[in-house]
């Protein structure tokens, strides 16, 4: 299925860290295709390699076996071509830059013109509902707003792929619900491909078109669940039998792949 529509294509991908306590198999035998426009969630217990997989896509880690292509390129070439935006667990905003200057950071580095920068900043602030906060410094914003600014920064340049590593993990439930809803709208509007790491089952089911269930030691994919939910998803969809059905399957997948004996 390595068609042109495949944004990420992993074949028998493996990554082993050499540590003082011997090799750690962070990823082993991962086969996965992510299609253009997909919203893919990676879920699993800690140590299952979900973040590592994202970091391999981003060329922040090098895989040791198998192969992976992003838009038909190696991760390094994809990074050089600025194929993706990355949102970390923490907002990772520069404290000495205002919100609009933070969004401008990748644009400055990639050499966008001043007018173009200005237009994109306004567009992005609007997209994440932060218009009017451009001149504020990060510490003047709440955690949820900071994370939204961080998403705006990742979207400011024209990357079609958005990699998100537990972006809402540190936020409380109410803020998280709100941001999930906004993220879906944003995804619908921009038609980006999103890879989203989470450890929350409801979050994964609510957001994704596909859910990749992973398990640790060695980090591997145990199940890939295609969501049957419609593209339009109000928050109330989480109470429908269909939603609960998928959530159940994810939970079963997590249970099957994880040994609780330890």
Partner 1 sequence: MTAPSLFRDRILPVLTVIAAILVLWHGAVIYLNAPFVRDQAARAGQSVTLGQIVSQTLNQERPVLPAPHQIMAELWDTTVAKPVTSKRSLVYHAWVTLSATLMGFGMGSLLGIVLAVGIVHNRAMDKSLMPWVIASQTIPILAIAPMIIVVLNSIGISGLLPKALISTYLSFFPVVVGMVKGLRSPDTLLLDLMHTYNASSTQTFWKLRWPAAMPYLFTSLKVAIAISLVGAIVGELPTGAVAGLGARLLSGSYYGQTIQIWAALFMAAALAAVLVSIVGAAHGLVLKRMGVKS
Cβ closest to partner 1, residue 68 vs residue 184: 68
- Closest contact distance (angstroms) between CB of 140 and partner 1 is 8
- Closest contact distance (angstroms) between CB of 211 and partner 1 is 25
- Closest contact distance (angstroms) between CB of 60 and partner 1 is 6
Q: Which residues pair with 27 in a beta bridge?
A: 15
Measure the CA–CA gap between 60 and 75, rounded to whole angstroms.
Answer: 9
Cβ closest to partner 1, residue 8 vs residue 225: 8
Cβ closest to partner 1, residue 41 vs residue 150: 150
Structure tokens at 82: 């600025």
Start-end of H helices in the chain: 50-57, 75-80, 99-109, 114-127, 143-155, 173-190, 201-207, 241-257
Structure tokens at 115: 């007018």
- Closest contact distance (angstroms) between CB of 44 and partner 1 is 22
Structure tokens at 105: 């950071």
- Interface residues toward partner 1, by CB under 8 A: 58-60, 79-80, 82, 84-86, 88, 90, 92, 94-98, 105-106, 108-110, 137, 139
- Closest contact distance (angstroms) between CB of 163 and partner 1 is 8
Cβ closest to partner 1, residue 108 vs residue 252: 108
Cβ closest to partner 1, residue 80 vs residue 114: 80
Q: Is 142 exposed, middle or buried (0-12, 13-18, 19+ CB in 10 A)?
A: exposed
238: DSSP letter: G
Our CA dihedral for 116, 141, 204, 211, rounded to 10 degrees, sits at: 30
């Amino acid at each position: 299925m390595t068609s042109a529509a495949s944004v990420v294509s992993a074949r028998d991908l493996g990554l082993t860290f050499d540590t003082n306590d011997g090799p750690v198999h962070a990823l082993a035998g991962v086969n996965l295709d992510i299609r253009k426009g997909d919203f893919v969630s990676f879920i699993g217990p800690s140590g299952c390699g979900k973040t590592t997989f994202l970091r391999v896509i981003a060329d922040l880690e090098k895989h040791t076996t198998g192969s992976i292509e992003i838009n038909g390129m190696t991760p390094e070439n994809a990074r050089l071509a600025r194929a993706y935006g990355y949102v970390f667990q923490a907002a990772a905003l520069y404290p000495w830059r205002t919100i609009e200057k933070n969004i401008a950071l990748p644009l400055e580095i990639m050499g966008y013109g001043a007018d173009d920068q200005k237009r994109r900043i306004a567009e992005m602030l609007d997209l994440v509902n932060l218009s009017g906060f451009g001149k504020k410094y990060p510490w003047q914003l709440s955690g949820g707003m900071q994370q939204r600014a961080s998403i705006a920064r990742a979207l400011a340049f024209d990357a079609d792929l958005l990699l998100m590593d537990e972006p809402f993990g540190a936020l409380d439930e109410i803020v998280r619900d709100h941001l999930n809803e906004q993220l879906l709208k944003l995804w619908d509007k921009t038609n980006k491909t999103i890879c989203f790491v989470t450890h929350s089952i409801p979050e994964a089911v609510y957001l994704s078109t596909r859910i990749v269930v992973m398990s640790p030691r060695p980090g591997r994919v145990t199940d890939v669940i295609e969501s049957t939910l419609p593209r339009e998803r109000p928050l109330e969809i989480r109470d429908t039998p269909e939603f609960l059905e998928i959530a159940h399957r994810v939970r079963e997948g997590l249970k099957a792949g994880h040994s609780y004996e330890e």
